Amino acid sequence: MSTGTTTLDVVVSDVVPVNELVTRFHFRRRDGGLLPTFSGGAHVVVEMRDGDRTRLNPYSLMGSPLDTREYTISVRRDDAGRGGSLFMHRQVKPGLEMVISYPVNLFSLDLRAKKHLMLAGGIGITPFMAQTSQLAGAGGNFELHYTCRTASLGTYADVLQQRYGSRVKLYHDDRGERIDLDRLLSSQPLGTHLYVCGPAGMINWVRDRAASLGWPLETVHFEHFAAPQPGAPFDVTLAVSGKTIHVGEQQSLLEAMEAAGVDPPYLCRGGVCGQCETNVISSDGKFIHNDHWLSEEDHRSGCKIMPCVSRFEGKSLVLER
């Protein structure tokens, strides 16, 4: 693996179906020891060796940071994706030996906050599972608002309500329940920090409302891992390593570089952390920027690309790697 991501040899200790879309996976260290400490909101990158293909997907750790005998992640099946979640659902069984990265936290709690207001949408609940465990253990003040499509897809809603009672509020789309966001945001005591994890539309909505209601940027935290999108295949020349590589339909640019023996740094593989940022030396075609890292200006300039999630369509592309 790469910069900042030392690997851990683990064995799958349990696989638990949670509902029709979500399955939970438990990992233990192969040598039986304790896993590294992490903080609520951290993720690990899971290596999936699927024949001659290796996929690396990030998943939030959802267990309690107070228990490092095992790590748990929950994976939502995406039938239209590039196959990572399907591989997890179909191929990963208890006893399988796997390799995962050390935990990395790009969505940590700001412990200076007087109160933590959490907003989750769908599978975006996973980092909050760990964050609420962490805060509950330390007597922290939090409130979680969780929107899901239906009660049966409210992953862990029952667990959370059982643990935290009225501190957890549920909203079901099929019952027409919706967060009264302006009211919620306007009624929070001074010193509250806001955390949001869910679909891009939800994150944008919440960030936008918070900003217009006077929440300082520093108090609004969000996490959205954009899974790499499939697209038309393209060729890339890597100037520093002197290679020309082909990026397949179902492959990300970062994965293609790795397959060619180039080892760019990365942390999130979801277009948010900025580690894999790469300079474009020349290009003739159209960039499909899917990241949340580069500014709009960077996107327009055509001088930078995030190879973990972004693609290219056109005649030629030369990158500095």
Partner 1 sequence: MAAKTIISRPIYGTLSPQPGKHHLFIADAEGALAITDMAGKAPPGFFDGAEIVFIPGPEAKHIAALEALKPAQLHIAPSFASLLPRLKQTLTNAHMGLRLYLAGTEGLIGQAMQAALEAGIDHTSIETEHRGSLARRMQCVHCKGITENVTTQPALCSHCGLLLLVRDHYSRRLAAFQGVCINAEDRSEIPPMEEIFR
Residues in contact with partner 1 by the rule CB under 8 A: 112-114, 185-192, 194, 211-219
Q: Which is nearer to partner 1, 9 or 180 (CB)?
A: 180
| Least CB distance to partner 1 at residue 208 (A) | 11
Q: Which is nearer to partner 1, 80 or 217 (CB)?
A: 217
| Least CB distance to partner 1 at residue 216 (A) | 3
Q: Which is nearer to partner 1, 76 or 116 (CB)?
A: 116
> Looking up tokens 């049966």, which residue turns up?
152
DSSP string, 63-86: S-TT--S-EEEEEE--TTSSSHHH
Taking the C-alpha atoms of residue 8 and residue 35, their distance in angstroms, rounded to an integer, is: 8
Q: Which is nearer to partner 1, 11 or 184 (CB)?
A: 184
Q: Which is nearer to partner 1, 168 or 185 (CB)?
A: 185
Name residues whose C-beta falls within 8 Å of residue 10's C-beta, 6 or more positions apart in sequence. Answer: 27, 28, 29, 30, 35, 71, 97, 98, 99, 100
| Least CB distance to partner 1 at residue 115 (A) | 8
| Least CB distance to partner 1 at residue 119 (A) | 14
| Least CB distance to partner 1 at residue 214 (A) | 2
| Least CB distance to partner 1 at residue 198 (A) | 20
Taking the C-alpha atoms of residue 16 and residue 283, their distance in angstroms, rounded to an integer, is: 46
Name residues whose C-beta falls within 8 Å of residue 314's C-beta, 6 or more positions apart in sequence. Answer: 234, 283, 284, 285, 286
| Least CB distance to partner 1 at residue 33 (A) | 39
Q: Which is nearer to partner 1, 90 or 114 (CB)?
A: 114
- What is the Cα gyration radius of the chain? 20
| Least CB distance to partner 1 at residue 142 (A) | 14
CA distances (Å), origin 214, targets 117, 140, 185: 16, 24, 10
Q: Which is nearer to partner 1, 93 or 183 (CB)?
A: 183
At position 130, the amino acid (one-letter code) is A
Q: Which is nearer to partner 1, 73 or 113 (CB)?
A: 113
Q: Give the residue from 92, 83, 85 showing the smallest Cα distance to 249.
A: 83
CA distances (Å), origin 257, targets 46, 142, 245: 18, 42, 7
CA distances (Å), origin 141, targets 86, 100, 182, 210, 219: 37, 32, 21, 20, 15
The upper half-sphere exposure of residue 97, i.e. CA atoms within 13 Å in the direction of its Cβ, equals 6
